[in-house]
Amino acid sequence: MSPGGISDKWIGEISMKTTSTWLAVCTAILVANSAGGGHFVALLHPQAFLIVFLPLFVCILHGTGPNGFGRYWIRVATGVHDPADSALTSSAVRLGFLMGGIGAMIGTLQAMRSLSDPTRLGTAITLSATCVFYAFFQAALLLPATLAAGSRRSLK
């Protein structure tokens, strides 16, 4: 049992179910985008990537230091979590959602400003939607680490 009274098995099942669900949702978005005549490249928006992921990486780099940055991502990828990572991961997920919302607002403001020029309208709407997509994607990457932070699989 973990400190909160939740079994480690249950946390592992929730992590796998949640991760699988997020992976299925992201795959469905990609498939629907390509089936609707779009291209996968439309979801690669450099400005949205910088708005959402740059603050995330800076937050984690600040929390772990230069030497611990790579080890943090290895712990996230392997599912072995240091209890000290719990607050950092939780903050990173919240920051990612915040930056996704800010990116969506920036895209919406750009869309409103370019209503008279339809050639610029698509780029602004894409920025807005892609920021939200990236925010959910980063949360899906870090969610298993957030759920397992209090489990017994933690480092001693």
Domain contains 39: yes
Answer yes or no: is 20 within a domain. yes
- Residue 35 belongs to some domain of the structure: yes
How far apart CA 4 and CA 35 sit, in angstroms, is 45
Number of domains comprising the chain: 1
The answer to which of 2-11, 47-56, 123-132 has the lowest mean pLDDT is 2-11
> Is residue 26 within 8 Å of 140, Cβ to Cβ?
yes
Over residues 39-43, mean pLDDT: 64
Which of 119 and 29 is assigned the larger pLDDT? Answer: 119
Report pLDDT digits (tens) over 59-113.
888 988 888 888 888 877 777 767 777 788 888 888 989 999 999 999 999 889 9
110 found inside a domain? yes
Tell me the whole-structure pTM to 2 decimals: 0.67
Give 122's pLDDT tier (boundaries 50, 70, 90).
Answer: confident
The answer to the question of residue 2 being in a domain is no
* Assigned domain for 36 exists: yes
Residue 52 lies in a domain: yes
Q: In residues, how long is the chain?
A: 156
Per the domain annotation, does 156 fall within a domain?
no
Range of the domain at 23: 8-148
Residue 135: C-alpha distances to residues 56, 82, 101, 107, 118 (Å): 10, 24, 8, 14, 27
